[in-house]
Amino acid sequence: MKQFLLGNEAIAQGALDAGLSGVYAYPGTPSTEITEYIQRSKTAIERNVHRKWSANEKTAYEEALGMVYAGKRAMVCMKHVGLNVAADPFMNSAVSGVNGGLLVVVADDPSMHSSQNEQDSRFFGKFAMIPILEPSNQQEAYDMTRYGFELSEKFKIPVMLRTTTRLSHARAIVELQEKISENQLNPPPTSCSDFVLLPSNARGRYEHLLKLQEKLREQSDQSPFNEYVEGSDHSLGIIACGIACNYLEENVRKFNLKYPYLKIREYPAPKHQIARIFEECEQILMLEEGYPMLEELIIGYFRKVKVIGRLSGEVPRTGELNPFLVARSLRIELPESETTPELVENRPPRLCVGCGHADLFNELNVLTDHILGRRIFSDIGCYTLGALPPFRAIDTCIDMGASITMAKGASDAGVHPAIAVIGDSTFTHSGITGLLDAVYENSNITVIISDNSTTAMTGGQHSIATGKIADICRGIGVEEAHLKVIIPLKKNLDENIAIIQKEIDHKGVSVVIAQRPCIQI
Amino acid sequence: MDINIILAGVGGQGILSISAVIGVAAMEHGLDVKQSEVHGMSQRGGAVVSHLRISDQPIFSSLISMGEADMILSVEPMELLRYKPYLKKDGFLISNTKTVVNIPNYPEEQVLFAAIEKYPNRVLLDAETLAKKAGNVRAANMVMLGAAADHLALEPSYLEEAIKHIFERKGERIVQLNLDAFNAGREAANQYLATV
Ligand SMILES: Cc1ncc(C[n+]2csc(CCOP(=O)(O)OP(=O)(O)O)c2C)c(N)n1
């Protein structure tokens, strides 16, 4: 059967068809549609595949690990920066190993379409010493979920499936395979110490992981996803990874190129195939969607052959690739492209008309505009758009949860007022522990939770503590007298300003919950 | 046969339903299709674009190169011009005339349309008004699709089948509404071309 699927949907369908028992995730562009597809899938509902959102990527990862501990197949999905949050279980599960197949799907965002950075998750995969699969098209994305589960169960370690925005968010025709059934429940025997990473056990497990590396390299040299394509013109050889293979193929066909090339879609990188292209060619062009990871490794290794790519400037150092950039790096003469007519203006994203965050920012601006050097620490979500005109109401956005903790640190340093603005989903993702730090020291900060009862920025996923935010604050010790709920509406402007002002003046922790549902839900 | 189409608009206008119809129609008739989409931050009222490629040969890249688009189909007139560098020399421009003014420095309409009218291969139409006549403003996308239908190297009847297929779940009435909007767009485009 054929379907017209997004890369993310191909991963989801592939996992379902390969006997998935649970998907665990926190939303994040460009990974979100994987889990959403499974949430909508009839098959998943009938089979009762786990498919609810988790509080953050770390809890998602550990929940998936628990499922594979019990012998079933699980998938955990996140955007690239999500893996920073899940890094602890990720690194350690490579040491403990897994009992059922664990696929870690990480969607990178080169060019930062919707992200704070463009970190390349392949480094994390290499760091953990696990296999990485990097599909170059949607069919491979589908096929690799099954292959990834098989690899994971064969070597008993997690396997990373790395995608990038243009694969995750492009549709293509995908041919589905036969469905296989889910694994039976099969937790390890109680005498198994693999999952007890006390130093004495962990040392043995780490030795085991190191010994496995040679086997993973052999696997990769024979992988159906690593392919050497012969060519008659040996003046140049090309090594392309993941989606870059596609842009290369496009140019090979269009310009009838005769260079040998190596397509890499499984890591650790295939040693013998790389050695071969270096033997056969006078110069090597590296095409990687992301950081020059292999380029850095290879450049010093085969000194006699010149390597060109992102480090030498033939390929731009930053940003995603496209067929045009790849053609240029292949020294293909292209006609000068036109420029966009001058009258076209930038159209950045903005808060919707009628958004509650907007009223909150208006209140904050009235309140604090007169304060010289005023700083408002904020966070990640739709409300980050408050940094742009016409609001210019917030001054920081680093990572999820950093508003509260940075405000606390700044307050420790003597900054007053130290105001944090955070969304409800971000608060439950990573804000609660920071607030607990502030409560513990009774720091002089004012935390404003802009609660729109959804995870708006990523498309309105259920925010898992809707209706419980005030109770959570109470529960971790915020004083009742300094826990306020306001409704950010124009008609309440004066009243709200008075409330926030009073809490700013209070010497200690205050929390103001600005509550108004997102207009999109 | 190769067709490369750039679909443009503003986040929230739903350009993806246009490409979904074309994509399904092409797939059902044995062609290869690839389509890149924008999800995420820009969907909040920012500029959004989708690349759609159809061919009787395997397609590799889901992105279209500069100067290689056969058509730009835009549901907003300024967004049409943003992607002009992608258009082939003799490429086709199809645009809605209804502006979305959500930035303070939006160009003056007169200047904007004068710039668009410099290009001879074009169709301009008011998709909202035509959709309203067909029964619902929200079918404006299908009006735009209809306007492009005779220039896609796909039988327009394939597109009609795909519309039926995609909207089937929503019931007979919605299917008919979208078909009416599609045909209104098609007619309006042909009239426009006859008069330019
Ligand atoms: C570690 C990490 N995970 C996920 C994301 C993606 N992300 C950015 S904003 C956001 C939603 C925030 O929701 P909320 O705090 O409720 O604010 P809203 O968008 O609803 O205003 C998510 C999931 C991210 N940037 N970093």
The CATH code of the domain at A226-339 is 3.40.50.920
- pLDDT (tens digit per residue) in A190-202: 999 999 999 999 9
Check CB contact under 8 Å for B61 and A247: yes
User: What is the distance in A from the centroid of ligand 1 to the CA of A386?
Assistant: 14
What distance in Å separates the CA atoms of residue A418 and residue A443, rounded to the nearest whole number? 10
User: What is the distance in A from the centroid of ligand 1 to the CA of A66?
Assistant: 25
Rg (CA), chain A: 25
Instruction: Tell whether omega for the bond before A268 is within 30 degrees of 0, i.e. cis.
Output: yes
Burial of B16 (0-12, 13-18, 19+ CB in 10 A): buried
Phi, psi of A167 (to 5 degrees): -90, -45
Check CB contact under 8 Å for B23 and A339: no
Q: How many H-runs (helices) and E-runs (strands) does chain A carry?
A: 20, 18
- pLDDT (tens digit per residue) in A407-448: 999 999 999 999 999 999 999 999 999 999 999 999 999 999
Residue B86: which pLDDT band, with cuts at 50, 70 and 90?
very high
Q: Tell me how far CA of residue A246 lies from CA of A88, B7, B86, in angstroms.
A: 34, 22, 20
* Nearest ligand 1 atom, CA A29: 6
Residue B43: which pLDDT band, with cuts at 50, 70 and 90?
confident
| Coil, helix or strand at residue B47 | strand
Which of A2, A382, A385 has the CB atom closest to B27's CB atom? A2
How far A30 CA lies from chain B's nearest CA (Å)?
7
**Segment holding A209, helix H or strand E:** helix A199-221
Which of B42, B63, B85 has the CB atom closest to A166's CB atom? B63
DSSP-derived secondary structure for A149-197: HHHHHHHTS-EEEEEEHHHHTEEEEEEPPPP-PPPPP-PPPTT--TT--
- Largest distance between two CA atoms of chain B: 46
**Segment holding A502, helix H or strand E:** helix A493-505
**Segment holding A79, helix H or strand E:** strand A73-79
Optimal mutation site among A114, A344, A353, A454, interface B, most CBs of chain B within 10 A: A344
pLDDT of residue A373: 77
Cβ within 8 Å of residue A342, ≥6 positions away: none
Length of chain B: 196
Q: Is B191 on the interface with A (CB under 8 A)?
A: no
Which of B23, B83, B102 has the CB atom closest to A171's CB atom? B23
At the topology level of CATH, where does A356-515 sit?
A: Rossmann fold (3.40.50)
Using an 8 Å CB-CB cutoff, list chain B residues near A344.
78, 81-82, 107
Check CB contact under 8 Å for B65 and A246: no
Q: Tell me how far CA of residue A198 lies from CA of A31, A124, A194, A424, in angstroms.
A: 34, 23, 10, 37
**CB of A383 closer than 6 angstroms to any ligand 1 atom:** yes
Number of CB atoms found within 10 A of residue A302's CB: 15
In the predicted model, what is the mean pLDDT of residues B117-123?
94
Instruction: Locate the domains of chain A by residue range.
Output: 2-221, 226-339, 356-515
Using alpha carbons, select from A30, A131, A111, A161 the residue that is nearest to residue A291.
A111
Check CB contact under 8 Å for A173 and B82: no
* Nearest ligand 1 atom, CA A384: 21
At the topology level of CATH, where does A2-221 sit?
A: Rossmann fold (3.40.50)
In the predicted model, what is the mean pLDDT of residues B32-61?
91
Intrachain domains A2-221 and A356-515 with the same fold: yes
What is the reported pTM? 0.97
Q: Which residue of A has its CA nearest to B53?
A: A172
Burial of A193 (0-12, 13-18, 19+ CB in 10 A): middle
Check CB contact under 8 Å for A324 and B65: yes
Domains of chain B, earliest start first: 2-195 (3.40.920.10)
CA-nearest residue for atom 4, ligand 1, is: A28
Using an 8 Å CB-CB cutoff, list chain A residues near B32.
173
DSSP-derived secondary structure for A396-437: B--STTHHHHHHHHHHHTT-SS-EEEEEHHHIIIIIHHHHHH
Phi, psi of B151 (to 5 degrees): -125, 20
User: What is the distance in A from the centroid of ligand 1 to the CA of A29?
Assistant: 9
Token look-up 């995908």 returns A174
Query: For chain A, which ranges sit under pLDDT 70?
Result: none
Check CB contact under 8 Å for A351 and B44: yes
Work out whether the CA dihedral A179, A172, A73, A22 comes out positive or negative. negative
Amino acid letter, A118: E
Using alpha carbons, select from B119, B154, B122, B110 the residue that is nearest to residue B18.
B154
CA-nearest residue for atom 12, ligand 1, is: A381
Q: Give, in degrees to the nearest 5, the angle at Cα A374 between A369 and A377.
A: 115
Tokens of A309: 């790519």
pLDDT of residue A351: 93
Which of A2, A345, A352 has the CB atom closest to B45's CB atom? A352
A447 phi-psi bin (left φ>0, alpha ψ -120 to 50, beta other) = beta
User: What is the distance in A from the centroid of ligand 1 to the CA of A398?
Assistant: 12
**CB of A26 closer than 6 angstroms to any ligand 1 atom:** yes
User: What is the distance in A from the centroid of ligand 1 to the CA of A57?
Assistant: 12
CA-nearest residue for atom 9, ligand 1, is: A381
DSSP B140: H
CA-nearest residue for atom 2, ligand 1, is: A82
Tokens of B28: 């059902």
Check CB contact under 8 Å for A4 and B23: yes
Which residues are bridge partners to B50 per DSSP? B7
Length of chain A: 521
